[in-house]
Structure formats: C-alpha cells, structure tokens
Amino acid sequence: MHTPTTGHGSSSAQRRLGFIVAVLAAIGGALALTRPFLPIGGTWAWRIESPVDLERASVNAELVSVDERGAQLIPQPNRPISLITPPLALPANAESTVFVEAAYTGAGDGRRRCIVRLLWQAEAQSAYRYVETSARLSADTTRIAFSLPDSPEKIHRLGVQFPEVDGPIFIRSVAIPSLSFTERISLFAGQAGEREPFRAHSMNFLRGPVMLGHGLNYYLIALIALAGGGYVAVRLRLSQRVDARVMIGIFLLAWLLSDGQATANLDRNIALDVRDFAGKSREGQIAFSEGEDIAWAWQRLVAECPEGGTYAVVSDDPFRPAHRLAYLLAPLRTRVEDYASADFIVVIASSGARFDELGGVFSLREGPEAKATLIDRASDQLYLLRRESR
Amino acid sequence: MILWAILAVVIPLCAGGAILVAVSGRRLNAMHLIGAGYLLGQVIVMTALYLVLRVGGGRAHARWILLAIAAVAAIATWKVCARPRDTKNPVQRSPASRGAKALTALLIFLIVSKLAPVIASTLFVPVRGDDAISIWLYRAKVVTLLDRLPLDLADPYYLGGAAPAYPIFLSLAAAWTPMVSGEWHETLAILPWPLFYISLLLLTAGGLRRLIGGLPAWIATYLVASLPLLLIHASRPGYADLPLAVFLTATILHLILWHESRLRSDFVFAIVFALAAACLKREGPPLALIAVAGFLLTNLSMIRSLPSVENGINAALVAAACILCLAVVDFSEQTEVASQLAWQPGVFESLLRHAFQWSSLALFFPLVMAGLIAIAAFPSSAHRTTTANLVLAFIAFDAAIFFFTPQGRFALNDQTPSRLFLQIAPACILLLASSLARRRNPT
C-alpha cells in the first residue's frame, strides 16, 4: 500500500503553518462538538389553555374543548388531525429542539406507537413541509421532541400532525425550551437511535438522524477535525512525521459510525417491511402498501372489467391511484384519461365527481356527462361504474 | 419457473465472463470476472431483446434468445479452453500484516452483512417506488405480458406505455427473467437490482485489488457498499440510478486498466460499459461522455505514445459508440432542457443540504474534499490529473443540471440531487482509491 507521509523535507514555515491549521481544526472540532450541549439559545412557547390561545391558529380537526389540559381534537373524515400555530417570530438564536406535549385518550390505559409530524411553513401561502417521528402516546401527557427543521428566521408557522390517530387527542403545548446538560445528553442518545421510517421519498434522500438540531454528518466531521487536527498538531509539535494511515483510520472510524447508524436503520425498516408483508395475500399486500381504496378498485376491476377493456380513474390525486392501478392492471386492462370514453370509471376520493344513481349520469366538474351504471360501492368516495353506450 | 429463472441469470453471466476471458486472457481475478461478467451478460441480454423487439419489431421468444446466448457462452468457453494458459507469474505483493488481515476480514464481514437486508427485501417486499411502478417496471410488465414492444404511436403501450422518451434498456433487463420464465413475476423482474449491487462490489474489490492491493481495495469497496442511498436502491429496486452507477464505475475501472495495460481489450470493454451507461437513463449519455472524453483528454501523452493504428481503431470504437448512442437514445427531452438554460435561484442551499447535511451519501463529499486535497498534496499519486478532473467534472455536471436547467425545481423539492450524486459516487471513490493508494508509474 502506498502510504504518503507529510512533514518529510518540508520547510519549517510550512510546518508552522501546518501546525496552526491543525490546532485550529482541532479547536473548531471541539467547539462544534460541545456547542449543541450548551444552553445558550433563546426560548419560545405556545401553551393552549383557552380558546384565546387558538386565535389565528389553524385547526384541521373537530375542536371538542379547550382547557388547561390543552385543545381536545378529533379527526375530520379522511383528514389527519393537525394544529398549526399562529404566525411566529422565533428568537434568532432559538434553541434547536421543539417539544410537543400531547395526550392520546383513544389508547385507553395503554400506550400506542404512532407517527407524529412536525409541520413548518417558510412563509405565508407556501406549502408546508414536515419531519416525522414515531412516538408512544398515552392518556398521560407525552413530550415529543423534534429538532427545529430550519433556521428560526425561516419559520413562519409550526404545526403538529397525527396522521395515524383516529381518536381524541389533547395538544397542550408546542415549545422551544432551554434544556439542562443531562437532558441534552439523554435527548441526544434518544434522537441518535431513532428510526427514520422509509417513505416514498426515501428513494430520493435520507435525512439521517438529527440530534440537538444537527445532523449526524455535523458531529462526524467535527470528530474528524478534532481527532485528525489533534493528531497532526501533536506529531508536528514533536517534529515527527504524520502517518497518512492514522488519518485514513480516523476517517474510516467516522465512516463506520455513520454506516452503523445507517445499516441499523435499514435493517429495522426492512425487518418491519418483511414482517408487515409476510403471510398476506396479494390483495392484503396491495391494501397495506397502496391503501384499501386502491386494493378495492384493483379487485373490482379485475372482476368486472374484461381483458382488453378500458377504465378511467377519477380522483383528486392525479398521480398515485391512477399510476398504481395502471401498473397493477396493465397491459390486460388499459387505463385511459378520458372517463367519457372508458368502459369503466372508478372514483377514488374525488371532490368534483357527481353520480346521479337514479338518472345513471356521471360527471366531473364541468366535464362531459357520461351514462353509467353503478357496479359496486365501498363508500361515497369509492365506487365503480360501468359506462353505458348511448 | 425457478429453473428457467436460474438459467436466465446464470447463462448471460457465463457468457459475459467467458467473453471477458476469451478477449482479455486470464488476467482478471475471479471477483472482477464475475462482476464484469454479469454486467456484460446484461449488456448482451438488453442488446438481444432490443434487436428482436425494437429493431425487428417481432415477438421476443426469450427462450430462443437464451439458447443463442448459451451458444455464445459455449463458443467463448471453447475459445478460452483452446488458448494456452498464461505463463506469466501474477504480481507478487508483500504478505499482509496480521492487523491488515484482521481489518480486511472485518471489512468483508461488514460488506457481506449488507446483503441480508437487500436479499430479504427483494424476496419478501413488493415494489413501491414511484418511478419503478410508473416507468421502469411498468414497461417491463407490458413487454413481458405482450411478448412484444408496441411500435405504433397510437398504441396505448407504445414503447412500453410510459415515458417513451426514456431509454427502454433497463426495462428490458427487468423483463428478461420473467420472459424466460414464461410469466410476469415481480420478484424475478427486480432480481437485476441486487445483482447489480453485488456485481458493483465484486468489480470494485476485484478490479482495485489488482491495482492497489487487498486492504485498500476492500476499504474502497466498503465505502461503496455502505453508501446509504445505494443500499436503499439495492433493497427497494426499480430505479435506474443504481444500474447507471454500476456501468459508470465499470467504465472507469476498465479505462484505468487500459491506462495500465495499454491493451485494446480493456479499452473495448470500457467503451461497451460506457455505451450501456449512456443507454440507461437521461443523465447517462453526458456522464458516459465525461468519463471517456475526460479520461482520454487527461491522458493525451499516453495516447500519443500508442501506435497510430491503435489510436485509429480506438477512435473508430468511440465514434461507433457515439453513433449507436445517438441512434438508440431519444434526446428530445435533453434538447428541450438544454434550450431553457437559465440560472435557478435557491439551488445552492439545497445541494449543500444533500451533499453535507443529510445522510444519503454518508461522508462521501467530505471524503471527496479530503481526497482531492491529498491528491494535490502528494504529487506521487497515480493518474492524479485524471482523477481530479473526472471527479470535479462529474460533480460539476450534476450541479450544473440544477443550477442552469429547469431541473433545478427538483433540487428545490429535494427530489433528485442525492440520486444524481449517487450515480457518480462509486466511480469517484474508485478513482480516488486508485490514485491515492498507488504511486505514479514512472514510465
């Protein structure tokens, strides 16, 4: 192995410069590693104790009550519970961890693990983005920690969403408190070990764990700077040669830490996937991965639409149901865009679809009317029609 | 069905391996041979299906194609057997220390352990990725069940029925095993992805071991194997980024081998793999061009030292590859994108997030920075100009796509930067390892 070394034959000015750079790297690394553990940031809190606290907030749920226990919310049909703060002016040096206090009474005496999302909006009218975590909720108030997803001045509103909760939930506060050193250590360990659930976007990127507001790479680069800079500084101070193998070793060690986390996350996600899909029928697998509505539509179309037939998907979501069904049914049954020319019309959660069952007429907003007969209906938002030739 | 599936995987692999040995001799070690053999086998499969379905416009008759590939494998094997064995002794290296052996064993263990989630997911979890379902596997399913590739524009399944401007080759590779097996089976269709991942590791370990020795080669292989997003693409198959990364890495490896051996066979395989990379995805042609043209331009002195006949043949090979690429790849989308060049604001922050802040590629970008600094610091590193220029050109190309084209919107919504970096990451690691772990050849 070719292992280049430095310091051999270099001038004393170069060595002095190298020494200074190495010391600065080590100091920078040490400071970067300690900074997240120091209580030096500003705080903020939104406590919900009366209806006044919800002024200018956005409540996407049925508001049952507001008292010192917080806002009690139950979900609206086909919509996850979410609560958005009024417009914010967070302190510019805000601490990096947001806590949500919530209680879930639908779990009875036990605890239920479910996904909780922290939403944020960069400016009014812009789309909300989210980060999510898996939390164990119970009837007692639980504190759910999130790293602040962006710099404070870029956050216009924060929000919290419970996509898997179907019962009443109390949201007591959203706050950025100042934490003690021991609380930070404990939070760091908890966040480092958190599973990042694999979603559709996981094919595009992995965020990795965020601890005390900083990603894993931040800590690893700081660690490399501290260890590498320290090693080089010591060797140059002692007028000894720097062994490149040690530097490679330090880098490899940091990579191993990163890999350990990523592999553990992958293994946990794949193990969950395998467990979730094991023993399920094809229908069950489709229902689990694509949703009950798509599985129902697939089953009904296979049963009703003959091979060579066509169907149209009418849905508010222009992408997912249509593409999923196209993949599941092609090429024996062909999806067409125009419902007025399709043999079958499957309606999946479409706000603009109108079907007059007595008159046998289907229409979509201002689109053409199509004579159709109801074949099967799972709900008002999910049904299959056969188009009749005029 | 299982027997046919096994044959569909093994026969092209054997054909690819046998052709490699028949053309290059017995210089390649077993890992390199299996890794590159699988890739060459996939090139043969994709080419054969393309010729029958797209050029011929007929039905696939996949089992006849399999028989033809088996015949090619037999002929190549016969040629190998007829060849006298190389009498040249392999390169002797000093024996590794116990520490190096222990570290190598640890790295191999870590690499092999990555295969468990990849295999489990391939076998037991259905495909869910958006692009897999709406493009690559959708077209594979259409081709498999129709046993033809509709060529009529009015047909709803024209060129597979989705994104007809995208190259069809990867979908053909996915369709191959189900076609030979006689029925559509999603698990069989996604088999190429874990096999591409394994061949990438074998190729990197086997190819680099010859160049830089065991431990550095296994370190580089471990870095490639543990890129988090690469592992996700291997275990949730159906996207084109992993296969493109594999063919690009194979191109770079064989160009480096050619630089060392000056043997035409190495250059031929580099061009074959570059052409395959160019025919996989929209980013393929420019990336393959950067790899080949960048390598040639930074090694002009070596090229001048070759006989002019040799250079003429090599130039003809490159020209033929370019013509083939132009003939089979639809450049309409790239042309449209290129016609809308404009600065895209807000992209820089997004690229920084993907490169340094998030964990998609672990510490790949800090590694690249450290590697480039080391290359600048150590003039004795092998082919340092080539490595520095190619690594920077790959990264600059990916960044330019987001900075200057409407694709910038996919940086703002975080959809593609990490995936584009993923396509070049293994090739960059291979380049850096082959430079830093080796002294420049004084000749």
Per-block mean pLDDT, blocks of 10 residues, chain A (390 long):
49 88 97 93 93 93 93 90 94 92 82 90 88 89 90 92 90 94 94 90 94 95 97 93 93 97 96 94 92 95 96 93 95 95 95 92 92 94 89
CA distance A207 to chain B (A): 5
Task: For A278, name the nearest residue in chain B, comparing CA atoms only.
Answer: B124
Chain A residues with CB-CB distance to B148 below 8 A: none
Chains A and B form CB pairs within 8 A to the count of 172
When pLDDT is averaged across residues B81-104 and rounded to a whole number, the result is 75
Q: Which residues lie below 8 Å from residue B342, measured CB to CB, with a gap of 6+?
A: B404, B405, B406
- B233, B367, B437: residue with CB nearest A2: B437
B25 band by pLDDT with thresholds 50, 70 and 90: confident
Q: What is the pLDDT of residue B27?
A: 84
* Beta strand spans in B93-252 (E): none
Question: Looking at beta carbons, which residues of chain A come within 8 Å of B117?
Answer: 263, 266-267, 270-271
A207/B359 touch (CB, cutoff 8 Å), yes or no: yes
Confidence of residue B273 (pLDDT cuts 50, 70, 90): very high
Q: What is the pTM of this model?
A: 0.92
pLDDT (average), residues B65-83: 92
Contact criterion met (CB < 8 Å) for B362 and A224:
no
> In chain B, which residues have their Cβ closer than 8 Å to the Cβ of A336?
156
The pLDDT of residue A250 is 97
Which of B114, B128, B432 has the highest number of chain A CBs within 10 A, making it the mutation to test binding with A?
B128
Confidence band (pLDDT; 50, 70, 90) for B81?
Answer: confident
Banded model confidence at residue B58, pLDDT cuts 50, 70, 90: confident
Q: What is the mean pLDDT of chain B?
A: 94
Distance from CA of B45 to the nearest CA of A (A): 23
| pLDDT confidence of residue B87 | 57
Portion of chain B with pLDDT greater than 70, in percent: 97
Mean pLDDT of B47-66: 93
Tell me the percentage of chain B whose pLDDT exceeds 90. 86
- Going from the C-alpha of B9 to that of each of B58, B112, B193, B272, the distances in angstroms are 23, 21, 12, 20
Whether B358 and A200 lie within 8 Å, measured CB to CB: no
Question: Searching chain B, which residue's CA lies closest to the CA of residue A5?
Answer: B378
A235-239, B88-92, B135-139 — which is least confidently predicted?
Answer: B88-92
Note which residues in 135-194 of chain A have CB less than 8 A from chain B: none
The answer to whether the beta carbons of residues B156 and B146 sit under 8 Å apart is: no
Cβ pair A6:B359 closer than 8 A: no
Confidence of residue B85 (pLDDT cuts 50, 70, 90): low
pLDDT in tens, A93-144: 899 899 999 999 876 767 888 899 999 998 888 889 998 888 889 999 999 9
ipTM confidence: 0.93
- Residue B435: predicted pLDDT: 95
- Closest Cα to residue B148, out of B160, B135, B136? B160
Residues B316-363: tens digit of each pLDDT: 999 999 999 999 999 998 888 888 999 999 899 999 999 999 999 999
Chain B neighbors of A216, CB-CB under 8 A:
359
Give the orientation angle of helix B30-50 with respect to helix B264-278, to 10 degrees.
50
- The whole-angstrom separation of Cα A296 and Cα A381 is 12
B88 pLDDT exceeds 80?
A: no
The answer to whether the Cβ–Cβ distance between B380 and A2 falls below 8 Å is yes
Chain B hits for A258, CB-CB cut-off 8 Å, are 226, 228, 359, 362-363
Distance CA A139, CA A151 (A): 33
> Omega before A331 cis (within 30°)?
yes
pLDDT at B12 over 70: yes
Could you write out the three-class secondary structure of chain A? CCCCEECCCCCHHHHHHHHHHHHHHHHHHHHHHHHHHCCCCECEEEECCCHHHHCCCEEECEEEEEECCEEEEECCCCCCEEEECCCCCCCCCECCEEEEEEEEHHHCCCCEEEEEEEEEECCCCCCCEEEEEEEEECCCCEEEEEECCCCHHHCCEEEEEECCCCCCEEEEEEEECCCCHHHHHHHHHHHHCCCCCCCHHHHCCCCCCEECCEEHHHHHHHHHHHHHHHHHHHHHHCCCCEEHHHHHHHHHHHHHHHHHHHHHHHHHHHHHHHHHHCCCCHHHHHHHHHCHHHHHHHHHHHHHCCCCCEEEEEECCCCHHHHHHHHHHCCCCEECCCHHHCCEEEEECCCCEEEECCCCEEEECCCCCEEEEEEEEEECCEEEEEECCC
